[in-house]
Amino acid sequence: MFSFRRTGQSGFTAYLRLQGRIAYARVDRRTPVPRLLAAGEIAVDGEKWREALASLHGKGPVSLVLRPGDYRLRLVDAPNVPPEELKSAVRWQIQDQLDFHADDGTFDVLAVPQPEHLTHVRQLFAVAARNTLLADETALALAAGVDLKVIDILETAQRNVAARLEKPGRALAVFSFIESGGLLTLSLDGELCMARTLGVNPAILDSSDLSAILERPTLEIQRTLDHFDRQFGGVPVDRLLLAPLPQVDRLGAGLAANLALPVEVLALPEVVDMSALPDPAAVPASCFHAIGAALRMEDTQP
């Protein structure tokens, strides 16, 4: 169940459990440009998650995107073991970085792209989550009648969006807001290269002195870009895209003033066909990662 493999099925729905609501999106991928069939929020009355989630019953295969505190994502050197032993080796390699025993977790790995001109040790992302948490989420979906097929994470959902906007041979940086702060990812050739959570939230956009507040986040973004340059020397970063949200233009202007690369607002119509929606402009910002998770493409590798 805990898998980051892409799937080729059409009509795929993804959802996130947020504070007091569920954000969801459904994408039809049978056309060259995936078609966004639905996106929105479902209000949750108290702890009645099952009743709210039941709204997705009968919508075909479904993916759950875990919340930031529900899993751990770690970048590690790939152990020198046969492919069939990789997950087991990584399980113990990151044991000391987890707040639960390796035997009590489920693990998966994501390969990090390594262009031919690079000679350093190949790296990969290790993803881990408690078995009890995954069991609870699965039981909730089952009780709601939801056909839960995949459990995903925010970073790969964001990667799926970036993959449709990348330019050949160039990396793409994407920034969004999640519950735990700002999520910055860099991807190359459709795969995740780096992921970092910054201590910043959308409330900063209400500040009258945004430039001062953005000093630290801008510095952290630049440091991440510098680290990418050291790790992937020779691969340029094309631009930084900002996930849509209210006042995002203000955020973009503040970041662009201090970063040495173009900063643009990510345009969802460049990612998905939104013609099936009655009002594409009304898609809530909270649906961004649900859309990304619903964009999973066919592949046979993690």
Secondary structure, 3-state, the chain:
CECCCCCCCCCEEEEEEECCEEEEEEEECCCCCCEEEEEEEEECCCCCHHHHHHHHCCCCCEEEECCHHHCEEEEEECCCCCHHHHHHHHHHHCHHHCCCCHHHEEEEEEECCCCCCCCCCCEEEEEEEEHHHHHHHHHHHHHCCCCEEEEECHHHHHHHHHHCCCCCCCEEEEEEEECCEEEEEEEECCEEEEEEEECCCHHHHHCCCHHHHCHHHHHHHHHHHHHHHHHCCCCCEEEEEECCCCCHHHHHHHHHCCCCCCEEECCHHHCCECCCCCCHHHCCHHHHHHHHHHCCCCCCCC
Dist CA 84 CA 127 (whole Å): 17
> Mean pLDDT in the chain?
91
- pLDDT score of 1 more than 80: no
Q: pLDDT at position 267, please?
A: 97
Torsion sign (Cα): 288, 55, 71, 215: positive
pLDDT at 10 (0 to 100): 52
Q: How far apart are CA 198 and CA 15, in angstroms?
A: 23
Q: According to the model, what pLDDT value does residue 297 have? A: 67
* Closest of 288, 112, 108 to residue 194, by C-alpha: 112
Q: What is the pLDDT of residue 270?
A: 97
Tokens read off for 275: 């013609």
Percentage, residues of the chain above pLDDT 90: 76
Confidence of residue 30 (pLDDT cuts 50, 70, 90): confident
**Residue 299's pLDDT is what?**
42
Q: How confident is the model at residue 220 (pLDDT cuts 50, 70, 90)?
A: very high
Q: What is the pLDDT of residue 31?
A: 86
Task: Kindly tell me if the per-residue pLDDT of 54 is higher than 70.
Answer: yes
Q: Which letter, b or e, does each residue of 24-47 get, where b requires 16 or more Cβ atoms within 10 Å of its Cβ?
A: bbbbbbeeeebbbbbbbbbebeee
Whether the pLDDT of residue 120 is over 60: the answer is yes
**CA-to-CA dists, residue 83 to 74, 129, 131, 156, angstroms:** 19, 21, 23, 21
pLDDT value of position 29: 86
Residue 7 pLDDT? 44
Q: Which residue has the tokens 């790969």?
A: 156
- Does the pLDDT at position 217 exceed 70? yes
271: nearest Cα among 154, 162, 193:
162
Predicted model pTM = 0.93
- Mean pLDDT calculated for residue range 279-298: 92
Q: Work out the pLDDT band at 182, boundaries 50, 70, 90.
A: very high
Mean pLDDT lowest among 2-6, 63-67, 130-134: 2-6
* Confidence band of 114 (pLDDT split at 50, 70, 90): confident
**pLDDT given for residue 38 in this prediction:** 96
pLDDT at 301 over 90: no
pLDDT over 60 (residue 4):
no
Confidence (pLDDT) at 250: 93
Instruction: Please give the domain boundaries of the chain with CATH numbers for all domains.
Output: 69-130 (3.30.420.380), 166-265 (3.30.420.40)
Tokens found for residue 141: 């979906």
What was the pLDDT predicted at 128? 96
Q: Whole-angstrom distance between the N-terminal and C-terminal Cα of the chain? A: 13
Note the pLDDT tens digit of each residue in 246-281: 999 999 999 999 999 999 999 999 999 999 999 999
pLDDT of residue 207: 87
Model confidence pLDDT, tens digit, residues 143-171:
999 999 999 999 999 999 999 999 999 99
The winner for highest mean pLDDT among 1-5, 201-205, 234-238 is: 234-238
Examine the pLDDT at 284 and tell me if it is beyond 70.
yes
